[in-house]
Each structure stands twice: as C-alpha cells, then as structure tokens.
Amino acid sequence: MSKSLYERIGGEAAVNAAVDIFYRKVLADDRINRFFETVDMEKQAAKQKGFLTFAFGGPHHYTGKDMRQGHAHLVKQGLNDSHFDAVMENLGATLKELNVPAELIAEAAAIAESTRNDVLGR
Amino acid sequence: MPQIRFENRTYALNGDESVLDGLTRQGVSIPSSCRSGICQTCLMRAVQGRPPADAQKGIKETLRERNFFLACACVPMEDMELSLPSDDDLPHIKARVVSKERLNHDIMRFRLRPAAEFNYRAGQFINLHHDDWVRSYSLASVPRGEDFLELQVQRLPGGRASGWLHDECKAGDELNLQGPLGDCYYTQSDVEQSLLLIGTGSGLAPLWGIARDALAQGHRGAIHLFHGSRTAAGLYLSDELRALTQAHANFHYTPCVSGPDAPDKIIQGRANAVALAQFPQLKNWQVFLCGNAAMVKSTKTKAFLAGAALKDIHADPFEFGVTPPREESAQAQG
Ligand code: HEM
C-alpha cells in the first residue's frame, strides 16, 4: 500500500512546524484575522493544528458535521468564499515556505477544498 | 488494568483504552473535540501517578512539568488520580507577615514566612483569601536563596483588598494563601537564548523574580527587562535593577515612562512599544509579559508576529477588580 499524504508530508512534526507559520500568516492577514482574534492564543493555535492535521489527511475524528458546527458561529459573522480562499492561500504559502513539494501541496489543498460547503454552512 | 480516580470515584479502564474513552464510556463528560491529541480541549492534570509521554506531546513545557496531559492520548501505565484544570484542588497555606515596606507612593512590599514548605517557581502567583474576598498577587521572590515570599501590592483606587493590605495589614498578621498558580516562569531550555521581559506597574514583581531566577540558573543569553509606568514616580526597584546590571553583564534594564514627565535618561514611551522597536525580530526569543491585561494581550500577538514561538511567550495579565481567577487565566487584583 502506498503511504498516506500525512506520512509523506512528514506527519506530526510537519504539523508542528507548520502551525506557528500558518497562524502567524492568518493573524497578519487583514482579510480574515478578525475571525481568529481571541484572548487564548494557545487554544487557537491548537485548533489550527486540528485544521492542518485535517488538511494533511492525518488521524482525526472530525466529520463534515463537525466542520459545519465548528464554523457556524463564523458564518453568522459573515464568513464567505472570499475568506475561505484566503485560508487556502495561507495554507499554500505556509507549505511552500516549508519546502513541501508542489504535488503534496496540491493534495492537501484538495482535502481542505473538499470541506468548502460544510465550512460555509451550505 | 490501571484504575483512575476522578472526583472521588474510581473507574476501571479496558485494555488500551484512553482516559477520555474510559470516562466517556462510564458516563463522565470531559470537554473534548478532536480526540486525536491535537486540539488540547481535553487537558487534564495528574494529581497522583505520572502521565505517559505520549499524553504530553505538544503541550507547553510549563504545563508538562506540572503533570498536565491530554485525556484522549493518555493510556495510563499505572493507577492515576486526575483533575480538570482548576485551582480548587490547590492547598491552602498560612503565612505570617514579617515585613512591610513602601516601594513607592502606591506599591507596598510584603515579605511573608510560610508556615510550611511552599514549593513554587519564580513568577508564579498566589491567591490571597481574606474576609469574603480573594485576590491574586504575583510572587516577586525567588525560591532558591530567599526563605520568604514577597508580594508587591499596588494600591488601586477604591480597591478593597489593596486598601486593606496597605492600610491595615501589619507585620505579625497571618495570611491565608493558596497556590502556587500560573505558568509564567523561566524554564531552562537553552541557556544562550535571549529573554525579553516586559512589565507595567506591579507587573514588575514577577519579572523581578523571573530575571533573578534565570540568572541564578546560569542563563547566559541576554536578558532585557523593560519596566513601564505612566509617571516617573511609578517606577520602583530601579536601584536594585541597576545593581543587577552591574553584577551581570548579560542583564539589561530599561525603565520607560509613557506620560509627559519622563526625566533625563529615562525613555519616554510605552514599555512594550519601546521594547518591540528595539527588538523587532524575536525569533528564538523567550518573552515574558506581565501587568496591564490590554498591554499583555496586544504585546503577545505582536511578539508572536515578530517571530517568537507561541510556546516561548509567557503571559500574566492582571485583571483588576474581577472575581477570583482560574488557573491559566488572568489574575484578579483589586
Ligand atoms: C479550508 C477549510 C477548513 C478546514 C478543513 C477547517 C478546519 C478546522 C478545524 C479542524 C478546526 C478545529 C476545530 C476544533 O477542534 O475545535 C477549525 C477551527 C477554526 N476554524 Fe477552520 N477550517 C477551514 C476553514 C476556515 C476558514 C475559511 C476560517 C475563517 C476565515 C476558519 C476559522 C476557524 C476558526 C476561527 C476556528 C476556531 C474556532 C473556535 O474557536 O471554536 N476556518 N477549523
């Protein structure tokens, strides 16, 4: 059997390397940072680890319903396709910065992209 | 099979069942989300027994040291007693006031002798219980070399607790403390790392402990302490801090006055702004932020954006005049 994307991308170590970079990009991105502003940055970073593990096809128990419920409060605040695109962009830029090969980036992007309707509550 | 104790009941776990699965199966609800050791929602603490290494992956060193772990990733190797993160289970301890000394017009130094051994890390805080109030105060003392606990209490306008401490509490009084709490303290991961310490008002208290603790532990990297006050009169411990710069070439002290009355040789500006202008690149730094909650919150984000890793940013925001805090959250003063 061929290795999973998660294994090929570097597993948990890759998630750990990516999370600060990704979270920093998101906080610096005026298109979306208002969704991520919180008093508890550790908790928020841990959630972004959940996001990255998901996008890397790693072990998780999130379902489409979880994605829908987990972002419903953001949809109420106006979360739409343009914000989703911004997150996709930050994900791609993070992996590029970590020198992840383009074809693996494309695979991760496809996994994240597959949640668009759930995340946006449609 | 290992057994776990939680809220005075004992639960048996099956084979390689995690604490989270075992408790959930037996009808105990623990906050959780990803169930894969990532999101840290199911953070718990081992009061007895050691959590396996796998259950502590990815959590902050300061939490790891105090036996916090993730319930979903914890398959116990031995019997354990667990609690959820809260300060209710911390011991109370009596301490006698041995001295009371004014540090400036609104900060009073108290030195206390605990009635029993009290283990803490410089920079942690205690809850002080008196009458019907509870307030948090940082420890300014260091556990190695000082046999007293030191508090530096700022008088707050109309503050009942700080008013009582300033006006009525006297040497010989016995105080009721609970603690230690908080995870804003120095852990030695790299002796060459640069440290940035920023505090406003009595936020200097924990930093005074942290800086001396790091030096006592042989820290060799630069230690930059910025203390901010609105007025020049609000600065304190300046002589002691200058003496520390004389004794240790790697220790640097920058007092800042944000109001218009900055005297000669004192930088005019907010301590956090001055510090970040001087050090715009914080990659591989350890950062300690104490004092005014709004300052701490905004500086935490800025330090992170300037390159400091989240695990290297330690914060102790002081909230004034709110109800007692919970562990890992803000300190309540007043
Ligand atoms: C690209 C597809 C996306 C995926 C796969 C995804 C996945 C996730 C996951 C797994 C979590 C952690 C949930 C938890 O464990 O509690 C999460 C949380 C979060 N996501 Fe997303 N997400 C996506 C898009 C977005 C977008 C577009 C935004 C906003 C611009 C966003 C904002 C957030 C926020 C703010 C949280 C934390 C929520 C909280 O505090 O409860 N996400 N996401």
B237 in the Ramachandran plot: left (φ > 0), alpha (ψ -120 to 50) or beta? left
How far apart CA B313 and CA A40 sit, in angstroms, is 12
Q: Does A111 touch chain B (CB under 8 A)?
A: no
Chain B positions contacting chain A at CB under 8 Å are 33-36, 38-41, 57-58, 60, 297, 300-301, 304-305, 309-310, 313
Residues of A in contact with B38 (CB under 8 A): 15, 46, 49-50, 53, 60
Amino acid at A96: K
Q: Does A116 touch chain B (CB under 8 A)?
A: no
B243 token code pair: 């003496």
Residues of B in contact with A61 (CB under 8 A): 34-36
pLDDT tens sequence across B299-317: 999 999 999 998 899 999 8
Residues of A in contact with B309 (CB under 8 A): 20
State the pLDDT at residue B135.
Answer: 92
DSSP state of A2: P
Distance from the B36 Cα atom to the nearest Cα atom in chain A, whole angstroms: 6
Contact B181, B206 (CB under 8 A): no
* pLDDT mean across residues, chain B: 90
Q: Scanning every residue of chain B, which has its alpha carbon at the shortest distance from the alpha carbon of A47?
A: B39
- Give rounded-to-5 percent helix, strand, coil for chain B: 25, 30, 45
How far apart CA B224 and CA B253 sit, in angstroms, is 6
Residues of A in contact with B20 (CB under 8 A): none
CA proximity to B186, closest of B242, B279, B120: B120
Q: Which residues line ligand 1 (CB under 6 A)?
A: A 32, 35-36, 47, 50-51, 54-55, 62, 67, 70-71, 74, 79, 83-84, 87-88, 112, 115, 119; B 33-34, 39
CB-based contact B304 A27, cutoff 8 Å: yes
pLDDT tens sequence across B56-99: 988 888 788 889 999 999 999 999 999 887 765 677 899 999 99
How far apart CA B321 and CA B179 sit, in angstroms, is 19
Strands (E), chain B: 3-6, 9-12, 43-48, 68-70, 80-83, 92-104, 107-114, 125-130, 133-138, 149-154, 174-181, 195-200, 223-229, 251-257, 267-268, 286-292, 313-320, 331-333
Whether the pLDDT of residue B138 is over 70: the answer is yes
Smallest Cβ–Cβ distance between B35 and the set A15, A16, A61 belongs to A61
CA proximity to A55, closest of A82, A20, A22: A22
CB-based contact A61 B305, cutoff 8 Å: no
State the pLDDT at residue B221.
Answer: 97
Instruction: Tell me phi and psi for residue B225, to 5 degrees.
Output: -110, 125
How far apart CA B121 and CA B139 sit, in angstroms, is 9
B181 in the Ramachandran plot: left (φ > 0), alpha (ψ -120 to 50) or beta? beta
pLDDT tens sequence across B214-266: 999 999 999 999 999 999 999 999 999 999 999 999 999 999 999 998 888 89
pLDDT along chain A (122 residues), means of 10: 85 89 95 87 86 88 86 95 97 96 96 96 92
